[in-house]
Amino acid sequence: MAPGLDFSDWGAKETRKGTPVVVKMENPNYSVVEIEDPDAAFRPVDKSRGKNAKQVTWVLLLKAHRAVGCVAWIATLFWALLGTIKKRLIFRQDVGMASEKLGKGKLLFTVIKAFLVTSLTILAFEIIAYFNGWHYFQNPSLHIPRTSDIQGLFHLVYVTWLWFRADYIAPLIQALSKFCVALFLIQSADRMVLCLGCFWIKYKKIKPRIKGNPFKSNDVEGSGYDYPMVLVQIPMCNEREVYEQSISAVCQLDWPKDRLLIQVLDDSDDESIQCLIKAEVATWNQRGINIIYRHRLIRTGYKAGNLKSAMSCEYVQAYEFVAIFDADFQPNPDFLKQTVPHFKDNPKLGLVQARWTFVNKDENLLTRLQNINLCFHFEVEQQVNGVFLNFFGFNGTAGVWRIRALEESGGWLERTTVEDMDIAVRAHLSGWKFIFLNDVKVLCEVPESYEAYRKQQHRWHSGPMHLFRLCLPAIITSKIAIWKKANLILLFFLLRKLILPFYSFTLFCIILPLTMFVPEAELPVWVICYVPVFMSFLNILPAPKSFPFIVPYLLFENTMSVTKFNAMVSGLFKLGSSYEWVVTKKAGRSSESDLLAAAERESKTTNQLQIQRGASESELTELNRLKAAPVPVKRVNKIYRKELTLAFLLLTASVRSLLSAEGVHFYFLLFQGVTFLLVGLDLIGEQMS
């Protein structure tokens, strides 16, 4: 029998539960190891010493199983992504109607596609050259090996490309990039001056003020203020979603009823919408509101033609001021009392413009980015120009005009799609002054879909260039001061309407990707990173809650420069799409007050509605049927190929730059490309129902 090995007494110092176990072996095969102290037997043992071949095999099999599972998960995810893209492409075939209207812009998209194919081909050459160690340009002397040193046809093609790139392509890109960088710095300086002017206004608390309080009296009729005659116009066209809330808001304006007339200028070609608007006007007319409905049989000139037709009415001659609100605008009841008194004792004041505020600014990423741009436009551009120059572009709505200023400036003209900017420029040339009220805000909507936003931006950027062609002779020959002419031509039109979209598209969407394939023309880090980020920081200052979106804002603006540049070119050269007007689709978002008013109206009984409208039961039934929400059309997840092509191009350019990365800005470019792609996918997702 083998001797018993009992170690229970060795650790007597420690208290251990359980019964000691004695192990006895009949055929002992062991060696005696000398242990210096009792605790040594219970010390941790190196695990690797106790592993045998079978254990190692099981560990390797387990790791291989995990790796295979990870690969399978990635493959499943990739397959699902491909399936989703396939479905979206199939669905897109059913939405060809909208794409047919965009056929005029296919040329630019074809150029971008060709540029992408060329870039990918060059990228393949660059990757192969990189992994084969063909680094010819690490030496500034640009040493190119002799032909006798070159082995292989592919190597010869690559070296030929390097020579052609260095001698012919790089100088052209460098010259164009220097020109665009100079324009970029000029525009950044202009933006800095505007921001400094805004800071000065805030610091000095400068703003237009009304002398005293003309409405301070217990008896309104006994107050010293002589209420002028005010005409309110609401132009609209097929505005089913928003007509009711805009008419309701305007009819609740706090102004003597006998001194106020509301014109609903309906250009709708849908008879059902016409019936709804007529019924709404009749409802408010029964309540004692002085409101009329106008519908043109010949719908020419878009919004300008609609306003021109309304101003030609004989009864308009009895009114002194006209306030204009688009169909989605909801002014507060005290709007006229905050704006009209500014005209008193200021005979050369032609326009009082209020600020827009947005009821759906937090609806999605697109509305948040639009809110950043529009807040800067009103808080900085409009306010600074109004305080220091008494001139800015009329925003087309939420403003009050002196009718005499409109008449002396030539009235509404149908020659462009930016009739608001047109009348503002002509009024400025006639010597009229403008006031911008940053603290008077009017609720409205911004487009919630990318398609509507893109069409709106096309109109906003093609119209000014078309107008510039028409107004340039009148500006030069006008009698205003030379510095005002310079401000109109150099700053208002050229710098902010032409140069801005030109350098944004050329520098960040053409030259930046090209420099990844032509390293000799590489842009400085401050041009592609530091200055754009700083300027984006300034743009977001008027909307501080939007700071988390600074990077998507910067990148999205660069991507949108394609649409803006295309629109600018079409307006400058008077192409077919420069006079294209598409009504911006509204979602019909309501403010809290509108919702309460709607609930109050819904609580009325059918009998009360019958009395107010003087309608029969069958007519009410028909009206309710028309007023019901239309059958929702299935919204399709459209893929905007032009924007995603550009995003993919910048992404591949960033990957190429990482192959020769020597600075952190290349990682920023990679992040830029990825964010472009994510923003594009987010905008695509907004088209889903």
Question: Over the chain, what is the mean pLDDT?
Answer: 77
pLDDT score recorded for residue 666: 47
Query: Which of the residues are catalytic?
Result: 267, 420
pLDDT in tens, 638-655: 445 555 555 555 555 544
Average pLDDT over residues 334-350: 94
261 neighbors 292 (Cβ within 8 angstroms):
yes
- Reported confidence tier of residue 433, pLDDT bands at 50, 70, 90: very high
Q: Among residues 277, 238, 263, which one has the least CA distance to residue 623?
A: 277
Which two structure tokens, joined as six digits, stand for 27?
Answer: 């055929």
Portion of the chain with pLDDT greater than 70, in percent = 66
> Where is pLDDT greater, at 223 or 286?
286
Measured distance CA(196)–CA(277) in Å, rounded: 46
Measured distance CA(427)–CA(408) in Å, rounded: 8
Average pLDDT over residues 225-252: 92
Above 70 in pLDDT, residue 657? no
| Residues making up the chain, counted from first to last | 689
Tell me the CA distances in angstroms from 65 to 48, 55, 69, 278, 308, one per residue in order.
22, 15, 6, 72, 76
The identity of residue 52, as a single letter, is: N
Q: Which segment of 5-9, 207-211, 243-247 scores lowest on mean pLDDT?
A: 5-9
Measured distance CA(474)–CA(492) in Å, rounded: 15
The identity of residue 209, as a single letter, is: R
Q: β-strand 260-266 against 291-295: which pairing, if any?
A: parallel
Mapped onto helix, strand or coil, the DSSP state of residue 261 is strand
Q: Among residues 176, 197, 186, 195, which one has the least CA distance to residue 536?
A: 195
Q: Which residues of 467-493 are buried (b: 16+ CB within 10 A; e: fewer)?
A: bbeebeeebeebeeeeebbebbbebbb
Average pLDDT over residues 316-334: 95
Mapped onto helix, strand or coil, the DSSP state of residue 14 is coil
- Reported confidence tier of residue 623, pLDDT bands at 50, 70, 90: low
Above 60 in pLDDT, residue 227? yes
pLDDT in tens, 374-430: 999 999 999 999 999 999 999 999 999 999 999 999 999 999 989 999 999 999 999
pLDDT in tens, 274-304: 999 999 999 999 999 999 999 998 888 889 9
Measured distance CA(464)–CA(457) in Å, rounded: 11
